[in-house]
Structure 1
Amino acid sequence: MPATASAPVAVTGAEGFIGSHLVEALVAAGHRVRAMVQYNSFSSYGWLETLPGEVMNDVEVVLGDVRDPGSVHGLVTGTEAVYHLAALIAIPYSYRAPHSYVETNVTGTLNVLEAVRHLGIPRLVHTSTSETYGTAQTVPISEDHPINTQSPYAASKAGGDRLADSYHASFDVPVVTLRPFNTFGPRQSMRAVIPTVIGQVAAGERTITLGDLRPTRDFSYVKDTVAAFLAVGTAPAADVVGRTFNSGTGEEISVGDLVSLIGKIMDTELEVRADQERIRPAASEVMRLVCDAGRLRAATGWAPAHTLEQGLAQTVAFFRDPLNLGRYKAGIYNV
């Protein structure tokens, strides 16, 4: 079935942190969404289950798996655009189960590219990560920065990126790659540093358990990252297709200073205790990431609309809601 102006858009990884926010934004922009949720025996829709009914009225949930070509083919048939966000993301777990990362992040991406290619879908937005750059060799980091994968997770994502580039060059697949720097906000996994800190404080802890406090990151509020997805997903093809775009604020903060800022926002004195289990292998730790998003601004006009403090305040409000906090295990470190 050929795509039409009224065709839905497809989102893989729709049940996750960024994916669920993207689904909301797409519906708000007037789209119908076909949302792939990884098949599970509980029939759980992940974070999509928390979205308002008026949003979900325009969402068709499809239980499937990007590792399965048939699932992907069925998902994208008849769509006008595909936003590919499905991925295994936790860096520490990639040390334990690297094969799983290749299956999902490389083979899964291959399945999406093949489906888009053979069905003639007009636009594919592929999701990369700033982790593919490794520790900054020059700052800010532009898209021309060398790729230096320091973890199995980063390597698997870079593999998916290279496949996306090759499918555009070889088969003219209309793919654009978005490479977000560290995104945070409501619904994020506690495997990430910001929800780890906020979640522990919201649960009553005053001694926060973390890994290395020295690395710096460029943190973007989730609504700004979603706006970047929409920007590259709807911009004229001549401006974006076949290209890679960073999204980020251009500002960096160390993990230690971030903890102090969160404590100030939550009006709480915090003590930090180092946990060796949370510290990456020395050569695998990415010490500095700061984004140059000039290419994205020039091509689409995108710019972040939230400061770090504004985003943190919204995230704190989310975790202070007992209903939201109750969905997490704040006292357990899950790799």
Structure 2
Amino acid sequence: MKQVLLTGSNGFIGRRLKEKLIELKYEVLELNSSNGDVTSIETLRTFNLEKIGHIFHLAAKTFVPESWMQPEEFYKVNTFGTLNILEICKEYNIDLTFISSYIYGQPKTMPISESSDICPNNPYAHSKYIAEQMCEFYSREFNVNVSIIRPFNIYGIGQNKKFLIPHIIDQALYSNEIKIKDLSPKRDYIYLEDVVDAILLTINNNKNYSVYNIGSGYSISVQQVIEVVLGILNIEKKVISEDSQRKNEMNDVVADITKANRELNWYPKYSFLDGIKKIIDREISN
């Protein structure tokens, strides 16, 4: 099997995953916002589906603050889009890798394992949880082989500057000061290359249904992110915090990644410092 379908191929993760798949000699068929609509099953049927051996489903709306303002769009794309993909997988016996999200809400214990309580606390996460439930149902009732990746906080080269880390780096490089909403929240940040490596490992996963947390296994606060960025640049800048929390903000999040270690033989290769250095180097070189 060398032909795969990649939805969301022009997105942050999809662009890099496409490059890696091509490097591995896969023929990549692409579905993205410029050539189709994942919420239309007729769009999917324009592909020669009988020749596709695997689908990587990344197409989604992802920015959490927007999900509070436009929940219907998030449910439409993230839920009904996934349903269409599952129908195609069922009909043509295609294995699926579904890219989900952090769906646990406020953690009761840490680190957070795949068996931890699930409590989505924003429309984006809830739409992904519904999509996961459909994946599980199709796996159980229609024998669709599904691997689910639950990445924690992804960062890397090419991420939109409305997300925290590129927003901080941009201000550190080009502004007189750094303005953020809150210094205290801690997150488990995982570098893009490590996420892509984990996704690729699922292509040979023979389990009928499996779910994997993908994170670093430790958390870093917004304050520490700023300190790392300024330290790499060897500069000092005034930091202004609004001390305002997002709706349903979580104070700390840490992933338990032992299942991915054990079943996929996946381990993060990039430290947070290494990842931030790579982003800054690329930004400066451009």
| Range class of TM-score, shorter chain | over 0.9
Change (3 A) 1:24 1:207: same
Compute the TM-score of the two structures, normalised by the length of structure 2: 0.95
**Within 2, Cα distance between the matches of 1:262 and 1:187?**
17
Select which of 13, 16, 29 maps to 1:21: 16
**Within 2, Cα distance between the matches of 1:110 and 1:271?**
48
Structure 1 letter corresponding to 2:85: V
CA-to-aligned-CA distance 1:283-333 (integer Å, 9 cap, x gap): x112221111111111121111111111100011122234xxxxxxxxxxx
Select which of 22, 26, 30 maps to 2:25: 30
**Within 2, Cα distance between the matches of 1:219 and 1:81?**
28
**Contact 2:172 2:229 (C-alpha < 8 Å) held by counterparts:** no
CA-to-aligned-CA distance 1:27-49 (integer Å, 9 cap, x gap): 1112111121213xxxxxxxxxx
**Within 1, Cα distance between the matches of 2:245 and 2:10?**
28
CA-to-aligned-CA distance 1:59-94 (integer Å, 9 cap, x gap): xxxx11111111123347121100001110001011
Structure 1 unaligned blocks of 5 or more: 40-62, 323-335
SS in 1 for 2:239: strand
Select which of 97, 111, 119 maps to 1:125: 97
**1:302 matched to which residue of 2?**
266
Compute the TM-score of the two structures, normalised by the length of structure 1: 0.82
Percentage identity across paired residues of the two chains = 30
Q: Tell me if 1:73 matches 2:38.
A: no
**Contact 1:106 1:156 (C-alpha < 8 Å) held by counterparts:** yes
**1:60 matched to which residue of 2?**
none
Structure 1 letter corresponding to 2:196: V
**Within 1, Cα distance between the matches of 2:143 and 2:187?**
34
Aligned residue pairs total: 285
Q: Tell me if 1:162 matches 2:143.
A: no
1:280-295 correspondence runs (5 A): 280-281=246-247, 284-295=248-259
1:195-206 correspondence runs (5 A): 195-202=166-173, 204-206=174-176
**1:48 matched to which residue of 2?**
none
**Within 2, Cα distance between the matches of 1:24 and 1:279?**
37
1:168-247 correspondence runs (5 A): 168-202=139-173, 204-235=174-205, 237-238=206-207, 241-247=208-214
In the TM superposition, residue 249 of structure 1 has moved relative to its aligned partner by 1.2
Change (3 A) 1:206 1:267: farther
